[in-house]
């Protein structure tokens, strides 16, 4: 199996549990008697763990890439088993923390492997193929959990839906062989490495910093909408059950999957910045629809939300253009700090604001996404 195929299989199997968790959140709240702020802490602890682990994982991936990838399914299994106990609340939070750590190991390690092995003109497509595999796993988790009997309970349903993780556990030794910890390099740098050895010119650094901001905004929108607003708003305001919430989230994921590769192809041909400006604007509109509108706008917002998320990998592609080969793992880790901080804060803020304040927060997130799109568009025109 090729290295890229192995990474894509890992992304698929490891993200199924991420898709399965969202529709189960209302059931977790009812079964465990959790308040909204506790649901926000539970959902946000996943992002908190990723945020805390990003930089150390970037350091580890730069030196022990195979070990980083092999540890991901082990940590994920431990987290799922803790969640499968059904409580109490601190145990559930610890389980979510471990799943967040596992996804950091897999994501930072996987992105590092993709960026180190593929630095050609089709990088956006390659990054989006990796992202496609992860999103397909999320969609699979949504589909499976919606078909499981409700009498199983949320914890058993989560474990059953996440069972493809066992495939990644069995393949862990292959990661160590395919991506050895020590990168052996000859004394003379390859042309692609020599071209980047001097590092990016200083004038590119503001653009790199802007990409960190764009990534964080996209993550804040994703975590707020998919991890909190759609499950709880769909259940409380529109009377959706587990299957109905799964369909709404699955609609966004399906649109994301359909648009992901065309967006990457388009970015490689017309430029990442104009495409990124377009998807940021669409994401802002989708966030408004899903968080503020009546049901027709709620459903339409999920569609636009999924289309906007098809540009999820574009900021990292821009960063990659201005980063030396040796600094990819470190900078990828730094980038993920901002992204995962937003993943942590989105549901946490929604939970503490409650139903009354969540709409205002979501409106602000959508407004910032639109403002970012306008700024990117101005850079392109200028």
> In this structure, are residues 122 and 268 in contact, taking their beta carbons and an 8 Å threshold?
yes
> In this structure, are residues 12 and 119 in contact, taking their beta carbons and an 8 Å threshold?
no
For 186-250, give the secondary structure using H, E and C.
CCCCCHHHHHHCCCCCHHHHHHHHHHHHHHHHHHHHHHHHHHHHHHHHHHHCCCCCHHHHHHHHH
Instruction: List the beta strands (DSSP E) in the chain.
Output: none
A 10 A CB-CB count for 356 gives 7
> In this structure, are residues 362 and 291 in contact, taking their beta carbons and an 8 Å threshold?
yes
pLDDT digits (tens, 9 = 90+) for 16-56: 998 899 889 889 998 999 988 898 899 889 888 988 888 88
Structural Rg of the chain based on CA atoms: 20
What SS3 state is found at 171?
helix
pTM for the structure as a whole: 0.72
pLDDT digits (tens, 9 = 90+) for 270-311: 888 899 999 999 999 999 998 888 999 999 999 998 899 888
Name which of 49-58, 102-111, 184-193, 247-256 the model is least confident about. Answer: 184-193
Domains of the chain: 3-181+202-381 (1.20.1250.20)
Asked whether residue 203 carries a pLDDT value surpassing 50, the answer given is no
Asked whether residue 102 carries a pLDDT value surpassing 90, the answer given is yes
pLDDT digits (tens, 9 = 90+) for 247-267: 898 888 889 888 888 888 888
């Amino acid at each position: 199996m090729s290295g890229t195929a192995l990474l894509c299989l890992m992304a698929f199997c490891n993200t199924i549990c991420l898709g399965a968790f969202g529709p189960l959140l209302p059931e977790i709240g009812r079964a465990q008697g959790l308040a909204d702020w506790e649901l926000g802490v539970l959902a946000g602890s996943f992002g908190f763990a990723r945020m805390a682990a990003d930089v150390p994982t970037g350091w580890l991936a730069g030196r022990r890439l195979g070990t980083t990838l092999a540890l991901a399914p082990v940590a994920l299994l431990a987290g799922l088993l803790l969640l499968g106990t059904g409580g109490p609340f601190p145990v559930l939070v610890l389980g979510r923390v471990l799943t967040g750590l596992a996804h950091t190991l897999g994501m930072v390690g996987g992105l590092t492997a993709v960026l180190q092995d593929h630095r050609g003109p089709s990088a956006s497509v390659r990054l989006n193929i990796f992202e496609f595999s992860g999103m397909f796993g999320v969609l699979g988790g949504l589909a499976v959990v919606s078909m499981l009997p409700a009498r199983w309970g949320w914890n058993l349903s989560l474990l059953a839906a996440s069972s493809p993780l066992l495939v990644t556990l069995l393949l862990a030794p292959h990661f160590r062989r395919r991506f050895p910890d020590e990168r052996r390099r000859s004394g003379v740098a390859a042309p692609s490495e020599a071209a980047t050895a001097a590092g990016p010119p200083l004038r590119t650094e503001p653009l790199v910093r802007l990409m960190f901001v764009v990534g964080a905004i996209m993550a804040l929108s994703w975590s707020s909408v998919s991890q909190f607003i759609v499950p709880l708003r769909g259940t409380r305001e529109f009377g959706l059950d587990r299957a109905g919430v799964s369909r709404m989230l699955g609609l966004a994921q399906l649109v994301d999957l359909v648009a992901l590769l065309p967006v990457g192809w388009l970015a490689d041909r017309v430029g990442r910045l104009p495409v990124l400006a377009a998807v940021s604007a669409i994401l802002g509109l989708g966030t408004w629809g899903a968080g503020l509108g009546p049901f027709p706008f709620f459903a339409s917002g999920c569609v636009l939300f999924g289309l906007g998320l098809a540009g999820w990998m574009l900021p990292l592609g821009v960063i990659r253009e201005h980063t030396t080969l040796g600094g990819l793992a470190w900078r990828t880790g730094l980038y993920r700090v901002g992204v995962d901080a937003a993943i942590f804060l989105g549901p946490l803020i929604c939970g503490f604001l409650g139903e009354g304040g969540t709409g205002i927060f979501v409106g602000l997130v959508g407004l910032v996404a639109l403002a970012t799109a306008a700024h990117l568009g101005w850079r392109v025109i200028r």
